[in-house]
Amino acid sequence: MIPSQNETPEARLATCRERIDELDRRLVALLNERTAVVECIGQIKKEAQLPVYEPKREDAVYANIKANNHGPLPDDAVQRIFERIMDEMRKIQKERMVLK
């Protein structure tokens, strides 16, 4: 939602920040949903005695996100964000594989 130009700058800023807060909540929900799938993958890898780190799979993830990125965020920024996400997911997989 884009705030109306008829509003004061303060009101437009408040509207934008409310939208950011809503988007952040959705992002957290999606990240947690992704984490649940990653935990499942970790269990499967443990059963199959596969390594947590799979560089070719990560390359495929990067290719997928870049192919589906329509901006305005540049591809390199999207990749850096996903590098961090996948780093955290690998950490979770390793922890869960040891615990289960």
pLDDT, tens digit, 9 for 90 and up, residues 42-88: 999 999 999 999 999 999 999 999 999 999 999 999 999 999 999 99
The residue count of the chain comes to 100
**Residue 75 resides in a domain:** yes
Q: What CATH number has the domain bearing residue 19?
A: 1.20.59.10
Name the burial class of residue 93, with classes exposed (0-12), middle (13-18) and buried (19+) by CB atoms within 10 angstroms of its CB.
Answer: buried
**Residue 2 resides in a domain:** no
Question: What pLDDT sits at residue 9?
Answer: 92
Tally of domains in the chain: 1
| Residue 1 CB contacts under 8 Å (≥ 6 apart), including other chains | 15, 19
**Residue 4 resides in a domain:** no
**Residue 49 resides in a domain:** yes
95 confidence band (pLDDT: 50, 70, 90): confident
**Domain range for 80:** 9-99
**Residue 64 resides in a domain:** yes
**Residue 3 resides in a domain:** no
